[in-house]
Amino acid sequence: MYGWIWRHLPGNAWVRGIIALVLVLAVVYALFQYVFPWAEPLLPFGDVTVDGASAGGAGAGR
Amino acid sequence: MAARTEHDERTDTSASPPPARRRVRHPVATAVSVFGELLITAGLVLALFVVYSLWWTNVLADREADRQGDTVRSKWADGPGALDTKDGIGFLHVPAMKNGEVLVKKGTDPKTLNNGIAGYYTDPVESALPWDDEGNFTLAAHRDGHGAKFHNIHKLKNGDPVVFETKDTWYVYKVYKTLPETSKFNVDVIQPVPEESGVKEPGRYITLTTCTPVYTSKYRYIVWGELERTEKVDKDRTIPAELR
């Protein structure tokens, strides 16, 4: 997969390396900016209250 | 001599085949290779998620909390006037947590807390406010990520001061009970009279809640305090003795 991408990048090894780095940074940016903020509330790591309601929809006793 | 030839031959065979194998690869080998690369990718993405959760959200939240805190302080500095609670009701100072000042705003929904602040409960049990005659001032904040304002909650011991600063008053609470682990459904801990902490009489209490153990949200960590005294804020906002 990565080998395939590498072979299809244009230019010599230096140009390919720079393009590959830009691609990696673009992916990391997309993850931090869009994917992780979307995924985070779906995961049970950030609930700090005792109402219990924010933890995956489980209702509290009251 | 014979052994030498054999060795040379073996060197030859081990040196030449790889290029040949790369040129004509079996489809199964290709599939396995792609699958392996996907697994490595997934591992890297998960590692990045940890970096995001434990570092990047703190960077964003601290920035936002500073901005909102500055807004509140500059409004306070604009002279006397009605206590405006929309931008936040004040700042929590807990020397034992070594986290500076924490802006406190209304509500404990994730959107509010993710800005690196602490929120007072409106649901399921409405929090009292520090200037009320009696009741329980109940707060929640993140343990990790998003500012991690209550990260060091486990450093709090009985007798430690918890100071809440409003526009005109310092409210000095003393911790009298900690509960290192309780269910997230245990809403009794934030009742106006938190009997679980051992008190029976109405009074002016403060309750800090966050998640525990660190890096998870399995249980809740609770710290209770009771108001010891209040102090008027003077012209220079001299900090009370507990914070020096």
Question: Which uninterrupted H or E stretch holds B85?
Answer: none
Rounded to the nearest angstrom, the minimum Cα separation between B232 and chain A is 31
Contact map slice: B 89-128 vs A, CB within 8 A = 108-110, 113-114, 121, 123-124
Token pair for B210 = 């966050």
- Nearest by CB to B184, which of A2, A40, A47? A47
Q: Suggest the residue from B52, B57, B59 to mutate for an interface test with chain A (most A CBs closer than 10 A).
A: B52
What Cα–Cα distance (Å) separates residue B86 from each residue in A24, B75, B104?
Answer: 42, 11, 10
Token pair for B71 = 């807004």
**Is A44's CB within 8 Å of B217's CB?**
yes
Write out the E strands in B130-218.
135-140, 161-165, 169-182, 204-212
Q: Which of B7, B93, B142, B154 is catalytic?
A: B142
* B52-243 is classed CATH 2.40.260.10: yes
B211 is catalytic: yes
Contact B54, B80 (CB under 8 A): no
Q: What is the DSSP letter of B150?
A: T
> pTM score, two decimals?
0.80
Q: What is the pLDDT of residue B80?
A: 58
Q: What is the pLDDT of residue A59?
A: 29
What count of CB pairs under 8 Å joins A to B? 91
Q: What is the pLDDT of residue B202?
A: 94
**Is B187's CB within 8 Å of A40's CB?**
no
Which has more pLDDT, B200 or B80? B200
Residue A22 within a domain: yes
Q: Identify the residue whose tokens are 């830009």.
A: A22
Position B189 pLDDT exceeds 70:
yes
Q: What is the pLDDT of residue B129?
A: 93
Q: What is the pLDDT of residue B110?
A: 87
Contacts of A55 in chain B (CB under 8 A): 184, 217
Q: What is the pLDDT of residue A28?
A: 96
Token pair for B77 = 């500095």
Which has more pLDDT, B183 or A62? B183
Q: Is B219 on the interface with A (CB under 8 A)?
A: no
Contact B102, B118 (CB under 8 A): yes
Q: Which residues contact B237 (CB under 8 A, 6 or more apart)?
A: none
Q: Which domain holds residue A33?
A: 2-40
Q: Is B227 on the interface with A (CB under 8 A)?
A: no
Q: What is the pLDDT of residue B205?
A: 96
pLDDT in tens, B62-108: 999 999 999 999 888 876 555 666 788 999 999 999 988 999 999 99
Q: Suggest the residue from A25, A27, A50 to mutate for an interface test with chain B (most B CBs closer than 10 A).
A: A50
- Nearest by CB to B37, which of A2, A48, A58? A2
B26 is catalytic: no
Q: Which band of pLDDT confidence, cut at 50, 70 and 90, is reported for residue A56?
A: very low
pLDDT in tens, B141-178: 999 999 999 999 999 999 999 999 998 899 999 999 99
Q: Which band of pLDDT confidence, cut at 50, 70 and 90, is reported for residue B194?
A: very high
Supply the mean pLDDT for chain B: 88
pLDDT in tens, A15-54: 999 999 999 999 999 999 999 999 988 887 777 788 755 4
Q: Which chain A residue lies closest to B144 (C-alpha atoms)?
A: A46
Residue A17 within a domain: yes
**Complex ipTM value:** 0.79
Amino acid, single-letter form, for residue B31:
A
Q: What is the pLDDT of residue A44?
A: 76
Residue A53 within a domain: no
Contacts of A28 in chain B (CB under 8 A): 48
Q: Which band of pLDDT confidence, cut at 50, 70 and 90, is reported for residue A55?
A: very low
Structural domain total, chain A:
1
Contacts of B145 in chain A (CB under 8 A): 45-46
HSE at residue B56, side-chain half, CA atoms within 13 A, is 15
- Nearest by CB to B187, which of A28, A31, A60? A60
Degrees, nearest 5: CA angle B239-B231-B79: 75
